[in-house]
Amino acid sequence: MAEHRSMQRAALLDAARSLLSEGGTEALTFPALAERTGLARSSVYEYFRSRAAVVEELCEVDFPVWAAEVEAAMAVAGGAGARIEAYVRKQLELVGDRRHRAVVAISASELDAGAREKIRAAHGGLVAMVVEALADLGHAEPRLAAMLLQGVVDAAVRRIELGAAEHPDAITEAAVAMALRGVRG
């Protein structure tokens, strides 16, 4: 019975990922989850009390996976510059991944404080990885630089997500150049 419940829960999370990556947070509704999984709407409520609870669990499951991939890419990179480049490239490469798209689609305003805190903590872990590389490069304010660098990554992610005029590779190269050389390009 417990195994069946965990399979249904996994199916609900997978349906939530699809809905989020297809239509953002507005698309994530309990009727849509019920329809995607073939469960009754009342059954969806047995697993999750709210949309925020679905999102919170998705973040708990998917963020660590995503962060681990970024961490692994940085771990095999050579010096500090290569680690920073890997940090940017890997995140942008993951934009095509449904788990990543789902997490990106979640707008912070729709989350309760607990979910927002979990996302912040996960992001904090990601940013902490690059703070060390920036410090190794001799950056005077590595924490501030890391936050700004993540801002560049987030902007590039949104640009790719929107299907901007530029090819995703061009967006990635521009983000890497900005990360490594600043606005001098």
Please answer whether residues 67 and 130 qualify as being in contact, where contact means their C-beta atoms are separated by less than 8 angstroms: no
pTM: 0.77
More confident: 110 or 80: 80
Please answer whether residues 153 and 129 qualify as being in contact, where contact means their C-beta atoms are separated by less than 8 angstroms: no
Give pLDDT tens digits for 39-51. 999 999 999 998 8
What does pLDDT average to over the chain?
Answer: 86
Residue 137 is inside which H or E element, if any? none
User: What are the start-end ranges of the H helices in the chain?
Assistant: 2-27, 30-37, 41-47, 51-76, 80-93, 98-105, 113-136, 142-161, 168-181
| Over residues 61-88, mean pLDDT | 91
